[in-house]
Structure 1
């Protein structure tokens, strides 16, 4: 067994580099300030009951200014002051709201919906109510995104409280139960996707109860960064790239089931460049392999899905990569490998790596109170490697988690790059999460986005045309 420590990957911002998104934005501005043709105003449509709209406007006003970090903390780098969202600091932009682009929902309509005893019907009516207001703004007003405030009265009736990723260690192979009840967030995003305006849902309690959950500065960092990413059609930061190396694209191949978990699974491709820009592509239904009980593509399906993703990528980003890295959370079948190879060859790509990223029950321990460091890589063989993407972080001076961190197993199936390079990229891609500015994400964006996209996709019919931007799913 060999041990290798991967230093925290650097990110590129407007004026310089840093490995922390918060410090990078605050000190060096968002990445797209490098470009002349960029927007500086974000028009926010709002949907909610009257008092919630007032709370959101007050919160947006608060976010314009500096917000100090958590008081008396022992980890000042983990709890960073918010620089403020305005034209003179890191984001170099401002939010614009107005009654002209706000739709106020009547409390009477909310009360009528809550009288419905059947929960699925209740949620369906709630989705339709919000969808109608979203549709009006999207079709009649000029906005960049729409923020929907979930009222307090929806809690435990329409929106069921669930543990968040921060509260419990998430697993890719966690058992999925049939989604017999309609999920309000997923159904709303799916039903309004055709309108072409990203949604941001925020629950009323996060606006009215500052003592619950994250501290105010952290909440502002995550909220404003998510809005910026969704509205600006750009990225606040990107991976640092060695200009002497060929252009790379990263592809995640995954599958999602219908809501009842009984129907045939459908394939999905997520393809990203080094900036984090990318496209989402829905494939075709696949069969479950009788031997390993896993979904697999036929060679033609693998060929068509990857080649279609590469064509969409080239059209959307106006570039063709010289190297392709393909991530899957399940093993590759012989047919899949054949199809992927042919697609890569026909696309004129000269170098590729096929990688499996899986959960593992293997754990390592170190002396003292803290788990292994994020970036710890243990090579069990030439093709099997254990990588800690979550763990102790020297910069934070702690392990920012509640549970023993579980590492990932990185299996190199076919590869032109070294295992060290492949694992370094996995660690770097774990930082491409614009919903969370804490940089120690567990999964690379290629894998992390799969579940989020699949959750929304299962609410779309075959006739519905999915959006290709990740902003519509996060």
Structure 2
């Protein structure tokens, strides 16, 4: 494509198709699953083994929800002022009908935790200790089950009471909670130093492992279960919103409609229990591998080191996370760069796995990052790749309100609109009006991604080809059943993967399927 010297080119990237059973195509996951089923669907219905951990009430809510998804879950009638034909919503046809899997709600493995134990643990005055105690209630219960039971579980569902969500995240205020000292405070008191330290505004963290991690229940659980099984964390209020109402009689929190919840959770259950994801991209070229770079500063590290990782995604859609070395990768406020040895080793891990799967190296290897690549790390990436593999570095950055396009005056642009600046740079609107849904799902005027082809080992690919790939990668988030995401999967989960990898219990996990992280 030739670019005029003084003009910008506005183009449109076609909506990528997804592949389902029998090689059938559809751009919408819900349509494809409803009409054809998952792309790797078995001829026979597959029984999945589900384990549930929670309070007695939470387990009951999950069982009730599980019975509902055995049949059709209808979209609620439109509210006042809503369109009659809401194409972004769809009835859920039933778990077996849509996904070809099933489980018996009354035969799931259930591990009950007394609500009083959760209340007591979440009320500990020190947040680090509170999160640690609550997480151990779930983790220890599962580990005990694994020691005593022979039957394996494909996925563990954690049905969480609202107090865990409210009290077990970083900077949880826990207002209105009657706080109580925990073991940490008692040990400090026994040392006879607590009054002096508190008066000075200092907490003695010597020999206290609970301070090594960020106090976040979600991160802790995901990290602990990396060597156990995939998990699905779901709030009780999501499973049974009608059971939780405020004093005025309204739902305690606003949730998605029951059909959408069924679609999203069922997609996650399928993805986390089956060898292949429910759909795959029909448009990705063979021999192409995509990598999303992950960096996360280590909490409380005196040397300021960071963790690095790579998320690999293939044409099947599924992913693998590779953990690299910890080191001094942070070079600025938002800049991270690997040293040559670490860069080469991390990419070698990715290439070895690709070789094992396909018995040959990739033809093209795209590295997606949110910063530029410096000479040292780029040369190491190229050295790690075998001869004939074109390594391409692409920077993908979100934008604010500085760049806007409108359609017909003040309507949102079509999703897939691209403003091509030159041979290597473009703005791409991955959100916007979707004709098939007859709507734009978003709170404000959509903002584009800024895409730059930074470097390439051999020939620089066409900018349009790179944009097509990124559009496709916005459609393989298997933790939900949305038409698309605003970010490609290589970038969307980078922060979450980094958050989990920096937890102490994630150490030693050099290579793990992506499904364990979401």
The answer to whether the aligner puts 1:425 opposite 2:465 as a matched pair is no
**TM-score of the aligned structures, taking structure 1 as reference length:** 0.88
Q: Following the alignment from structure 1 to structure 2, what is the Cα–Cα distance between the partners of residues 306 and 104? A: 43
Q: Following the alignment from structure 2 to structure 1, what is the Cα–Cα distance between the partners of residues 357 and 446? A: 37
Q: Following the alignment from structure 2 to structure 1, what is the Cα–Cα distance between the partners of residues 291 and 155? A: 27
The Cα offsets for residues 173-220 of structure 1, whole Å up to 9 and x where unpaired, read as: xxxxx998501111112123222x111111111122156210111111
The answer to whether the aligner puts 1:153 opposite 2:195 as a matched pair is no
Q: Following the alignment from structure 1 to structure 2, what is the Cα–Cα distance between the partners of residues 292 and 182? A: 23
1:461 Cα offset (Å): 5.3
The answer to whether the aligner puts 1:10 opposite 2:17 as a matched pair is yes
1:360 Cα offset (Å): 2.7
Q: Following the alignment from structure 2 to structure 1, what is the Cα–Cα distance between the partners of residues 384 and 71? A: 50
Structure 1 outlier segments of 4+, above 6 Å: none
Residue 142 of structure 1 corresponds to: 152
User: Is 1:63–1:220's contact at 8 Å kept on the other side of the alignment?
Assistant: yes
Residue 248 of structure 1 corresponds to: 288
Q: Following the alignment from structure 1 to structure 2, what is the Cα–Cα distance between the partners of residues 466 and 306? A: 13
> Which residue, out of 445, 449, 452, partners 2:496?
452
Residue 173 of structure 1 corresponds to: none
Shift in CA distance, 132/422, structure 1 to aligned 2, threshold 3 Å: same
Q: Following the alignment from structure 1 to structure 2, what is the Cα–Cα distance between the partners of residues 268 and 332? A: 15
Q: Following the alignment from structure 1 to structure 2, what is the Cα–Cα distance between the partners of residues 403 and 179? A: 39
Shift in CA distance, 43/293, structure 1 to aligned 2, threshold 3 Å: closer
Residue 295 of structure 1 corresponds to: 336
The Cα offsets for residues 115-145 of structure 1, whole Å up to 9 and x where unpaired, read as: 4222221111000111011223344332101
Shift in CA distance, 274/111, structure 1 to aligned 2, threshold 3 Å: same
Instruction: Give 3-state SS (helix, strand or coil) of 1:356's partner.
Output: strand
Unpaired runs of 5+ residues, structure 2, are 1-7, 173-210, 243-250
User: Is 1:41–1:94's contact at 8 Å kept on the other side of the alignment?
Assistant: yes
Q: Following the alignment from structure 1 to structure 2, what is the Cα–Cα distance between the partners of residues 229 and 317? A: 22
Residue 374 of structure 2 corresponds to: 333
The answer to whether the aligner puts 1:46 opposite 2:90 as a matched pair is no
Instruction: Give 3-state SS (helix, strand or coil) of 2:98's partner.
Output: coil
Map 1:42-121 to 2 at 5 A.
Answer: 42-72=48-78, 73-74=82-83, 75-86=85-96, 89-98=97-106, 101-121=109-129
User: Is 1:286–1:295's contact at 8 Å kept on the other side of the alignment?
Assistant: no
Q: Following the alignment from structure 1 to structure 2, what is the Cα–Cα distance between the partners of residues 155 and 444? A: 27
> Which residue, out of 383, 394, 404, partners 2:445?
404
**TM-score of the aligned structures, taking structure 2 as reference length:** 0.81
User: Is 1:135–1:192's contact at 8 Å kept on the other side of the alignment?
Assistant: no
User: Is 1:279–1:313's contact at 8 Å kept on the other side of the alignment?
Assistant: no
Instruction: Give 3-state SS (helix, strand or coil) of 2:427's partner.
Output: strand
Instruction: Give 3-state SS (helix, strand or coil) of 1:191's partner.
Output: helix
Coordinate RMSD, CA, aligned: 2.5
User: Is 1:246–1:323's contact at 8 Å kept on the other side of the alignment?
Assistant: no
Residue 355 of structure 1 corresponds to: 394
Map 1:180-191 to 2 at 5 A.
Answer: 182-191=215-224
Residue 169 of structure 1 corresponds to: none
Shift in CA distance, 289/125, structure 1 to aligned 2, threshold 3 Å: closer
Count of aligned positions:
450
User: Is 1:222–1:436's contact at 8 Å kept on the other side of the alignment?
Assistant: yes
Q: Following the alignment from structure 2 to structure 1, what is the Cα–Cα distance between the partners of residues 262 and 360? A: 35
User: Is 2:294–2:309's contact at 8 Å kept on the other side of the alignment?
Assistant: yes
> Which residue, out of 217, 222, 235, partners 2:277?
235
Unpaired runs of 5+ residues, structure 1, are 163-177
User: Is 2:307–2:502's contact at 8 Å kept on the other side of the alignment?
Assistant: no
1:287 Cα offset (Å): 2.6
Map 1:340-419 to 2 at 5 A.
Answer: 340-344=381-385, 346=386, 348-361=387-400, 362-366=402-406, 367-415=408-456, 416-419=460-463
Residue 206 of structure 1 corresponds to: 238
Residue 193 of structure 1 corresponds to: 226
Q: Following the alignment from structure 1 to structure 2, what is the Cα–Cα distance between the partners of residues 71 and 179? A: 49
1:156 Cα offset (Å): 2.1
Residue 313 of structure 1 corresponds to: 354
> Which residue, out of 462, 469, 473, partners 2:513?
469
The Cα offsets for residues 27-73 of structure 1, whole Å up to 9 and x where unpaired, read as: 0111111x66x871111001111111111000011011111123235
Instruction: Give 3-state SS (helix, strand or coil) of 1:71's partner.
Output: coil
Q: Following the alignment from structure 1 to structure 2, what is the Cα–Cα distance between the partners of residues 234 and 264? A: 36
Instruction: Give 3-state SS (helix, strand or coil) of 1:303's partner.
Output: helix
The Cα offsets for residues 448-472 of structure 1, whole Å up to 9 and x where unpaired, read as: 1212211111113574325511111
The Cα offsets for residues 72-111 of structure 1, whole Å up to 9 and x where unpaired, read as: 352522011111102xx12111123456621111233223
